[in-house]
Chains A and B, each alone.
Chain A
Amino acid sequence: MKIACTVNGRARTVDGAWEGESLLSVLRDRMQLPGSKNACEQGECGSCSVYMDGVLVCACLVLGGQANDRTIVTIEGLATGTALHAVQQAFVEAGAVQCGFCTPGLVVATHDLLARFPEPSVMQIREALAGNICRCTGYAKIIDAVQLAARRIAVDEHSAR
């Protein structure tokens, strides 16, 4: 089947997708966007977190055809050229990246959290990231990274005024 949607600001079309294929497979295998990771395929790990029409979702639980005419933003769409997004930069600096497999999903989920709660408490961070599993870090440095990103974004917005 044919799937047409906007991905990271570009109109994209794929032909010949299987009707039962997830948006995650469409992104990774047919659009050459391997940033969203494929781990559990059942919505448990959050590694495939993307935005669909501005809503944080697990791409593995969206049927490809459901993404028709929708607007998708993946981890590849957060940076500006080679300049990392503040959330990405904070993950690097805080040591929140070890093996890196969960990182794209956590960065997208953090991006969504900070859009909703610019100054999240630790409890709000834990709750917002509860669907993203990391097996390396023990989460302490991930929470540090979220707080660092929140501070940086607040400062940037302040100086932009």
Chain B
Amino acid sequence: MEFLQPSTWTEALQMKSAHPEAMPIAGGTDVMVEINLDRHRPASILDLTRVTELNQWGADGEFLRIGAGVTYTRIIGELGDRLPGLAMASRTVGSPQIRNRGTVGGNLGSASPAGDAHPPLLATDAVVELASVGGTRRLPVREFFTGPKRNAMKQDELIAAFLVSPAKGPQQFSKVGTRNAMVIAVCSFALTLDPVRKHIGTGIGSAAPTPVIADEAERFLEGVLDEGGLWEKPASVDASALARFGELVAAAAKPIDDVRGTAAYRRHALAVMARRSFGWAWDEYRTKASE
């Protein structure tokens, strides 16, 4: 096995170009499991932990641009106020030891359908920045996932960063698992309320071959809020509309039966999580509006 350790981003891209088969590693929380358990033995490994550019975040126009190597612990501590949904999801990742090492860039690279960061990234219309020696491109996260543990990256590309707007309204994340820590999601759901764009964002995890959005559910709920003039005068939302929202979220999933849960359970749980998440987020919006 060849060990490649670039110290700059330019060097990292050159090494990836010269060794397209190289497995990138940051926090190692996915890659090391594969190597330790001998499930996969890459011919070469590209350590990105010396590339300081990846560990930085800052404003990029109206977006926040967050380096692929920023850990979950830092997202919670440094960005929790601006990205509450992603921070909630980050708090459910593994344990302190895992959150101290694991990165959103790594979550995107692994592209597991169960990746905890994916639903909030989908719900906030995040953008993934990919780079190679040939240049940089930005891809909406909604186009990034192409299959189970597959993404739209080319062989010579690395994930540089992700871009996301700071929250304009309440965000929620919920996750079903057998414990409160150290669990891979049975299923998960993220919700974003954007009162400026009058937009509802959703993200579903662990209930389809890739993380997915619930497009029809978003449009339905936007319609309910628009019709009732509820963004301007936030009253309670009709229970039947909330039930319908839950059904539409469940219908957007394509779950399977596996060791963690059945397809029927996942659909049921998604409908419940969607309804409750909206309830929590809407309560927060109404409370703020009445202040």
Contact = CB atoms under 8 A, between A and B. Distances in A.
Interface in A13-54: 18-20, 22, 41-44, 46, 49
Contacts of B1: 18-20
A154 interface: no
A66 B47 contact: yes
Contacts of B180: 130
Interface residues of B, number: 29
A46 B181 CA distance: 13
B196 interface: no
Contacts of A43: 29, 32-33, 94-95, 97-98
A60 B32 contact: yes
Nearest to A113: B96
A55 B100 contact: yes
A61 interface: yes
A66 B49 contact: yes
Contacts of A63: 3, 25, 28, 31-32, 35, 45, 47
B28 A56 contact: no
B138 to A, nearest CB: 29
A130 B214 CA distance: 32
Contacts, number: 91
Interface in A77-113: 109, 112
Contact size range, A: 20 to 34
A151 B95 CA distance: 25
A6 to B, nearest CB: 17
B96 A58 contact: no
A157 interface: no
B259 interface: no
A22 B47 CA distance: 13
A130 B35 contact: no
A20 B94 CA distance: 23
Given A19-B1, A130-B181, A46 B95 contact: yes
A109 B28 contact: no
A62 interface: yes
Contact of A66 (B25, B36, B37, B179): B25
Interface of B: 1-3, 5, 25, 27-29, 31-33, 35-37, 41, 45, 47, 49, 94-98, 100-101, 179-182
28 contacts: A1-B3, A20-B35, A42-B32, A42-B36, A43-B32, A43-B33, A43-B94, A43-B97, A55-B100, A55-B101, A56-B97, A57-B101, A60-B32, A61-B97, A61-B101, A63-B3, A63-B31, A63-B47, A65-B5, A66-B49, A109-B97, A128-B96, A130-B95, A130-B96, A130-B180, A130-B181, A131-B94, A131-B96
